[in-house]
Structure 1
Amino acid sequence: MPYETNADLPENLQRLLPPHAQDIYRAAFNHAFFDHEDDPRREEAAHRIAWAAVKRSYVRTEEGWRRRDAP
């Protein structure tokens, strides 16, 4: 199930991730979801790929998720 907007993402992602990270997650998820059309674990693969995409640009700290290039 692709996500049209960030408001469609699961609530925990909306709470945890900053808006830009949500954009990254949603775009990566949607792309992976369509790319893995024949995979029986399509949704699981799409979530893993989306998290990997977020982790390339963001890092989790005690204060929450922050951009890797931020001081």
Structure 2
Amino acid sequence: MPYQSTNQLPDSVKNVLPKHGQEIYQEAFNSAWDTYKNPEDRIGDDDRESVAHKVAWSAVKSSYTKSDQGNWVKRH
């Protein structure tokens, strides 16, 4: 279930990430959704959606970090 817009992202993403972070998440999720559609392409027993969410969070974490206050901020 790829996301057509950032408005469709889960609240756990929309409510914590800035707009640019949401865009990274959406793009990475959609790409992983396509890449890992076949179970044999996945490591472990995770389903397609779980893998796509993990990939998306990993992509976000390459550009953003959580501040001491708990906010997601762009890495320098």
Q: TM over 0.5, yes or no?
A: yes
1:67 and 1:7 map into 2 onto residues whose CA distance is 21
Compute the RMSD of aligned alpha carbons.
Answer: 1.1
Give the share of equivalent positions with the same residue, in percent.
41
Residues 1:66 and 2:67 are matched in the alignment: no
Residues 1:55 and 2:61 are matched in the alignment: yes
For the structure 1 residues 42 and 63, does the alpha-carbon distance in structure 2 shift closer, same or farther, using more than 3 Å as the test?
Answer: closer
Summarize the alignment of residues 8-23 of structure 1 with structure 2, pairs less than 5 Å apart: 8-23=8-23
SS of alignment partner, residue 15 of structure 2: helix
Q: Runs of at least 4 residues of structure 1 off by over 2 A?
A: none
What is the aligned residue count?
69
SS of alignment partner, residue 58 of structure 2: helix
Alignment partner of 2:47 out of 38, 41, 44: 41
- Runs of 5+ unmatched residues, structure 2: 40-45
Question: 1:12 Cα deviation (Å)?
Answer: 1.9
2:70 and 2:26 map into 1 onto residues whose CA distance is 23
SS of alignment partner, residue 20 of structure 1: helix
Question: 1:13 Cα deviation (Å)?
Answer: 0.9
